[in-house]
Structure 1
């Protein structure tokens, strides 16, 4: 049985989820307890991170904040960018301080952007730069995703990681939909002049999550990164291929989630209430579909599911181009909703590919005579490092989505068509990458930069 050392801050030593006897006797219960608390913490983090996608819907001359559409897109882009940049240090922090310890800290620090939003968001005449600084602090909520995913991947055996990572991320992603639902509730009940109510609702929830994490979560020794784990991961070609794919899935999800309300107001002239009525639906369905994508990847392989996802997303982008030309609001909302669902499926399947790819490399190394324990431990540590890197780069995709929207709507046409054409092209690129790198039958299960023994050259990575 793994042992706890209270003097070391609830560390569990000797954690091995691949040991089936331990997993059935106690490991499953411990892993699931930490998973649900991780989901709760990440959920609140996502809500704080995406809060500005809701607050900008309130900003109007009626409350003394008459910013342009371009300035509002900047307020949406800023937390997305900061959250993306924080993902690597947050991922590393788990390996340095432990999952439980870092979750407590990461939850408490969410009070900073939330309190600042409550204090300033209804002050007439507040300059844009002040709101940009406050929005930047909300980026800490985006960092929570990387630390949470790195932590949870250590708790579950490889055969369950697609489901566990999908559920963890999906529950966190729901924070985008929930904060937008809260915005809708505020607008529908007290009008669009009280944005502070949205932020204030999260203050007690943040405190509750921090207390629960401190009391019920655990640190596990296996999550500790060997020196240079992230440097080694950077040298892995698969790190960059998967990051490119994750830009297409998670970058789309978070970028669309942050921008959808503004897009509806800019493209169709929707009111704040009309925009809020639709903005929550896509993120909600996309969040719920993420664990489904992980489960399908467990069963059919991450690459196959990811390929089908990108084919569907390309079709969805094409539908948005058609809806823009025909000025069809129902078709436009349907196309965006389909993109949210498909991006959620792709998020789950792409993340499943990470442990699968490195497990395949470990199996090939063991077959060639390497030490099994060392290779699979290296595989797990590399997976944790790549989860952080891919998560950070994928979130930068959300920044790119909003920058493309801003450029499209600032163009002489004033339409989002150019943005949708760009997204369609990127999804086509992702289809080509999945087919070429991960689904060709003659692909060797090894690092492309390393020579392989003759007997390993015929193996195929089937993540």
Structure 2
């Protein structure tokens, strides 16, 4: 204890695992809200711009382009420079995107821009820029991982992702009411203020894990030694390119990518797509669609990550993943067969439970299987995995375009197929773990 106190005081080390978890969660909650960017408001904008169902599918998905792809470099860069500067950069870019969206929406409503094509292009552009906030997931996972030892990472990452993931659900639920009371521009302006405030909070309380603070003051070898004395278990490779390369060469990384594609990328996709499903397929009001999407689905999925992390710590991420993906498949089959509100509500709840727990289980496995390159693995899994949020909404819109009204139900076959594949991959990982331990 005296040695620990000496290191903290001598080198001016700030922060703790608790404050690291709080700061990371605050940043992720703020940035991840962009998943809900167009899910509700597209129903106001689409008639103004005369958008068809496929154009709607791409618009609701566009924030997830940068939200997914930028996770790869940003997640890996944490290994190089720490999470604080990376996360701040992501949030500031998101603020710029929100400002651009507000100006574009104002121009659309006032008729300042007469070309629907240009209006749509600007919404896509600034939606993509604002979506950078979504990529705080990968950098945040790496940021929090370095603060906690392996035995506590299931809980820590479950809490981080669970509460952070709650943002789209909350925003999807309140947006219809914000639109009614504040108007389209007013609702987005309030959202911008919230994002700025949360960015400032992170800037004030968010400190990098011990190693990253120490390596700026002493050489790497000494920084590693002292960080371990302070309780830090994970030490980065120190290079973003090296971290990406090392993690890419480990085959287990790619199984986790596919598993995360349907659980987390699928979560993002349904948060954007379900308002259209509820309104167009089952004729719910916008406000009711927002509640069903935001609270019944998105918030429940997010909060299930918290017990999912605890389950993964207790029983192992592999076992928990297998069971949770089976649950996901059951829910998706119900959605494929449903043509009533009650059955769809049941299917939605079952999918939410399975996907939320699966998300926690997968990221319990990332630092376990790629401890030498957590940032790189987080980038691949979080980035390519969350590409499901980009690809699935247009794919589900294509089912509607091809099959008509019944396509809203048939599109859930995507979740059935990828969910079943994830069950198989979970079994492979479980078998590998047993062999690796010599059982």
TM category, shorter: 0.7 to 0.9
2:153 is equivalent to residue 161 of structure 1: yes
Counterparts of 1:109-124 in structure 2, within 5 Å, are 109-122=93-106, 123-124=108-109
The answer on whether the counterparts of 1:252 and 1:397 sit within 8 Å (CA) in structure 2 is yes
Determine if contact 2:252/2:429 at 8 Å carries over to the other structure.
no
Q: 1:304 aligns with which of 297, 301, 319?
A: 319
Contact map agreement 2:91 2:132 (CA 8 A) in 1: no
8 Å CA contact retained: 1:47, 1:179: yes
Partner of 2:217: none
- 2: CA distance, partners of 1:244 / 1:5: 45
CA change 1:4–1:52 in 2 (3 A) is farther
Say yes or no: does 1:230 pair with 2:244. Answer: yes
Mapped pair 1:71 → 2:71: no
1:94 and 2:86 aligned? no
Matched residue, 1:151: 143
Q: Quote how far apart the aligned CAs of 1:224 are.
A: 4.5
Q: 1:334 to 1:84 in 2, by over 3 A?
A: same
5+ residue gaps, structure 2? 213-234
Q: Take 2:280 and 2:360, find their aligned partners in 1: how far apart are those partners?
A: 31
Counterpart of 2:301 in structure 1 is 286
Matched, 1:395 2:382: no
Residue 317 of structure 1, CA deviation: 0.9
Q: Which residue of 2 aligns with 1:335?
A: 347
**Among 117, 121, 126, the residue aligned to 1:134:** 126
The two structures have a TM-score, normalised by structure 2, of 0.85
CA distance in 1, matches of 2:350, 2:176: 21
Residue 89 of structure 2 is aligned to residue 105 of structure 1: yes
* 1:270 maps to 2:284: yes
> What corresponds to 2:229 in structure 1?
none
- Aligned ranges 1:309-320 → 2 under 5 Å: 309-320=324-335
Residue aligned with 2:237, SS: coil
Q: What secondary structure, in the 3-state scheme, does the structure 2 residue paired with 1:269 have?
A: coil
Q: Is 1:404 matched with 2:418?
A: no
Task: Give the 3 Å change call, closer, same or farther, for CA 211–186 of structure 1 in structure 2.
Answer: closer
User: 2 CA distance for matches of 1:421 and 1:331?
Assistant: 16
In structure 2, the residue corresponding to 1:195 is in which secondary structure? helix
What are the Cα deviations for residues 324-348 of structure 1, in whole angstroms up to 9, with x where unaligned? xxx2112112212321222111100
Alignment of 1:314-393 (within 5 A): 314-323=329-338, 327-358=339-370, 379=371, 381-393=372-384
- Identify if the C-alpha distance between structure 1 residues 442 and 238 changes in structure 2 by more than 3 Å, giving closer, same or farther: closer
Partners of 1:382 and 1:442 in 2: CA distance: 19
Contact 1:110 1:138 in 2 (8 A): yes
Query: Counterparts of 1:107 and 1:130 in 2: how far apart (Å)?
Result: 20
Bigger relative contact order, structure 1 or 2, given CA contacts below 8 A and separation 6+? 2
2-side partners of 1:94 and 1:440: how far apart? 31
Q: Give SS of 1:350's match.
A: helix
| Offset of residue 11 of structure 1 | 6.1
Matched with 2:20 is 34
The worse-fitting range, judged by mean Cα deviation, of 120-129 and 72-81 is 120-129
Distance 1:59 1:203 in 2: 19
Structure-2 change in CA distance of 1:38 and 1:129 (3 Å): same
Q: Deviations over 1:406-448 (max 9, x none)?
A: 111111333223322232122111112212x123388532xxx
In 2: Cα distance, 1:408 partner to 1:286 partner:
24
Q: Which has the higher helix share?
A: 2
Tell me the equivalent position of 1:450.
Answer: none
Structure 2 Cα separation of the partners of residues 136 and 106 of structure 1:
12
Q: Say if 2:223 is the partner of 1:209.
A: no
Moved more, 67-76 or 263-272: 263-272
Equivalent residue number for residue 444 of structure 1: 435
Question: What TM-score comes out, normalization by structure 1 length?
Answer: 0.81
For 2:432 and 2:195, locate their aligned partners in 1 and report how far apart those are by CA, in whole Å.
48
The answer on whether the counterparts of 2:243 and 2:374 sit within 8 Å (CA) in structure 1 is: no
